[in-house]
Amino acid sequence: MTPTLRALLCLGLSVGLRTPVQAGTLPKPTLWAEPGPVISWGSPVTIWCQGIPGAEEYRLEKEGSPAPWKIQKPQEPRDRAKVFITHVTEHDAGRYQCHYLSSKNWSERSDPLELVMVNGSSSKPSLSALPSPVVTSGGNVTLQCGSGHGFDRFILTKEGDHRLYRTLDSQPQPSGQVQALFPVGPVTPSHRWMFRCYGCYRDSPQVCSPLSDPLELLVPGESGKPSLLTQQGPIVASGQSLTLQCRSDGGYDRFALHKEGGRDLPQSLVLQPQAGLSQAHFPLDITNGSHGGRYRCYSGYRLSSEWSAPSDPLDILVAGHLPDRPSLSVQPGPRVASGVNVTLLCQSQRPRETFLLSKEGAANPPLRLRSEHRAGQYQAEFSMSPVASAHGGTYRCYSSHSSSPFLLSLPSEPLELLVSGDVPKPSIGADPGPIVTNGSSVTIWCQAPLQASAYLLYKERGSEPWDTRTPQGSSNKAGFLIGTTTPSLAGLYQCAYYTTGDILSQRSDPLLLVVTGVGSAPSLSAQPSPVVASGGIVSLSCSSNLTSGTFHLLKEGGADPPQHMEAEPRIQAGRRQAKTIFPLGPVSPSHGGTYRCFSSNSSYPYVWSQPSAPLHIEVTGEGQTREHPHLFPGPKYLI
């Protein structure tokens, strides 16, 4: 007789041979198994039956068993009895019920207990959560139990629940696997939600597969979130190892790491806090692109089921999954002074939707830009305006597809950007002046406060130099001659210089080059008269047949810059006309002189018309000498 049989003979089993039960009001007992109803082959289990105090006898029945066994002496206070099975085998698996005798009456039978034995002869199924094991409080989730073996049903168990949680028939899948979907919820953070599942066949329903790996649902709370970081940086090559660090200052001793879109929590650690700072390290072996993705970590306490709020997300990017290697260049540079505007250009000949720029050793995530297709290349421009010493370092760029943003190309060749301290910017000017007639010549001068090896001229704040000059001899300036000006040459100009140490300076203040003589001349008049007494006020009226645009008033030989005012459309003598009034005064003798006005179209603000006929303003009388305000408060042309 086996030890199991001897144990059961102490308690009693029957189904086919039932013990008569007299009608009465005895409550039915409770039946359970310790450590649980699912037992591995060869492991011990204790089956308990609990009734009322003073019960005289307990009987345990096993479905399909030919005869009952009974316990002669229930344990004090005579309200329970047990059967201890030292080594569970497939003969012990099955459905059990128990009842008890008290005052010559038998109680009702207990609810059934299904004792399941799992063995290692078949593979354990997998258990995952859909859409995610991270569930908001009060939310629902679906647990998917699946296997490549043709199990007829799957059973889901929950940690701390002695009952079988739920049983479902399996459903075949196109992949050849079978699965069952268990809806769970609503979940709350009041206790732990730890699950396993196993599969069984119809012909042996209580002899099943090994248990799946445990799956814990995580219900985030509102307590302080931890931080998630990596010392190596977020970009890693396939085949390298990477360690993620989850930190908290709240004394937590349990941490979980979750990947966005993952169906389980891949790692969960329990650590003792050290020196007031609790943390966990999660090593990842980046063997393939599946490790790329967005991660968050959570912290909690071992003695509590509650978890913290999630950390800020950390993107892990796996390089080398796309075969191309983009190129990286810098303009200007790569040696620049602090304050210079720098652009890093990443480009590839292959179609790529996104480019990323990474700085070696930087804790911040890489910069990401959508690509643009230009001149047969896919490219992205990363601007740094202006650079500081902190921008210096080694950069690489990568390409990626928007459909798989965490899988990158091979890195570009490294590019080292050197940012020096402050290098004074140059000054810029024009000879004979910044306002020139169409077809005439002008020279733009750039002068450096330091010895320069080269001068660069930029137009309209472009990234590429418009022209380059080298200084003549020991001169500290260079001239850029424009032999014949045209409307297309009007606009903003800046210059910069390279020091003898090959460091590019900041750009100068902008110079506005205006080209006049394009379009008909406006008319200029004075009201009430071009002759005005000192201290008086005169209005200069500029008008033309334009319907919109700007008028510009200029005093010949004056030091003040031109004054600019928007044109006001008017109808005069049945014709549409644009007119602007420039008030002048209170005047002093210094206001006297010859004035002209110009007009310009709003589409080409730096291209002016022919000048108006000259208008001479005469200031009479001694008057009181006073400092007059700036005549033209508009923007200067040498800014």
Q: What is the predicted pLDDT for the residue at 574?
A: 57
Residues 509 and 571 in one domain: no
Q: Report the C-alpha gap between 484 and 437 in whole angstroms.
A: 10
Report in angstroms the alpha-carbon separations of 635 from 290, 552, 564, 631: 58, 11, 8, 12
Count of domains forming the chain: 6
Mean pLDDT of 364-387: 89
Residue 632 covered by a domain:
no
Q: What is the predicted pLDDT for the residue at 348?
A: 92
- Closest residue by Cα to residue 434 from 377, 365, 489: 489
Residues 10 and 114 in one domain: yes
Residue 233 covered by a domain:
yes
**pLDDT band, residue 252 (cuts 50/70/90):** confident
Q: What is the predicted pLDDT for the residue at 248?
A: 86
Residue 627 covered by a domain:
no
- Closest residue by Cα to residue 560 from 489, 628, 611: 628
Q: Which of 39-53, 223-237, 262-276, 524-538 has the lowest mean pLDDT?
A: 262-276
Residue 281 covered by a domain:
yes
Residue 514 has pLDDT above 70, yes or no: yes
Percent of residues, the chain, with pLDDT higher than 70: 87
Q: What is the predicted pLDDT for the residue at 398?
A: 95
pLDDT tens per residue, range 58-79: 999 888 887 766 666 787 777 8
CATH number of the domain at 282, please. Answer: 2.60.40.10
Residue 571 has pLDDT above 80, yes or no: no
- Identify the burial level of 625 via C-beta atoms within 10 angstroms of its C-beta, where 0-12 means exposed, 13-18 middle and 19 or more buried: exposed
Residues 371 and 406 in one domain: yes
Q: Are 478 and 455 in contact (CB under 8 A)?
A: yes
Residue 100 covered by a domain:
yes
Mark which of 263, 295, 319 sits at the end of a domain: 319
Ranked by mean pLDDT, which of 318-322, 441-445, 472-476 comes out on top? 441-445
Give the number of other Cβ atoms within 10 Å of residue 263's Cβ.
17
What is the residue range of 444's domain?
Answer: 427-516
**pLDDT band, residue 272 (cuts 50/70/90):** low
Residues 80 and 137 in one domain: no
Residues 554 and 510 in one domain: no
Residues 307 and 209 in one domain: no
**pLDDT band, residue 267 (cuts 50/70/90):** low
Residue 627 has pLDDT above 50, yes or no: no
Residues 113 and 7 in one domain: yes
Q: What is the mean pLDDT of the chain?
A: 83
Residue 630 has pLDDT above 50, yes or no: no
Q: Tell me the whole-structure pTM to 2 decimals.
A: 0.59
Residue 635 covered by a domain:
no
Q: Are 471 and 482 in contact (CB under 8 A)?
A: no
Mark which of 501, 516, 531 sits at the end of a domain: 516
Residues 70 and 177 in one domain: no
Residue 367 covered by a domain:
yes
Q: Are 184 and 194 in contact (CB under 8 A)?
A: no
Cross-strand bridge partners of residue 382: 344
Q: Which of 246-260, 347-361, 509-523 has the lowest mean pLDDT?
A: 246-260
Q: Are 346 and 328 in contact (CB under 8 A)?
A: yes
Mark which of 469, 498, 516 sits at the end of a domain: 516
Residues 100 and 171 in one domain: no
Q: Report the C-alpha gap between 407 and 356 in whole angstroms.
A: 11
- Closest residue by Cα to residue 37 from 111, 115, 126, 137: 115
pLDDT tens per residue, range 414-440: 998 988 877 888 999 999 999 999 999
Q: What is the predicted pLDDT for the residue at 12?
A: 39
Residues 403 and 340 in one domain: yes
Mean pLDDT of 458-469: 86
pLDDT tens per residue, range 540-549: 999 887 767 8
**pLDDT band, residue 321 (cuts 50/70/90):** confident
pLDDT tens per residue, range 159-211: 876 566 788 999 999 988 999 999 998 988 877 888 999 998 888 888 888 88
Residue 630 covered by a domain:
no
Residues 189 and 255 in one domain: no
Q: What is the predicted pLDDT for the residue at 50?
A: 92
Q: Report the C-alpha gap between 342 and 330 in whole angstroms.
A: 7
Residues 166 and 77 in one domain: no
pLDDT tens per residue, range 328-363: 999 887 888 888 888 999 999 888 899 999 998 877
- Closest residue by Cα to residue 355 from 345, 366, 369, 343: 369
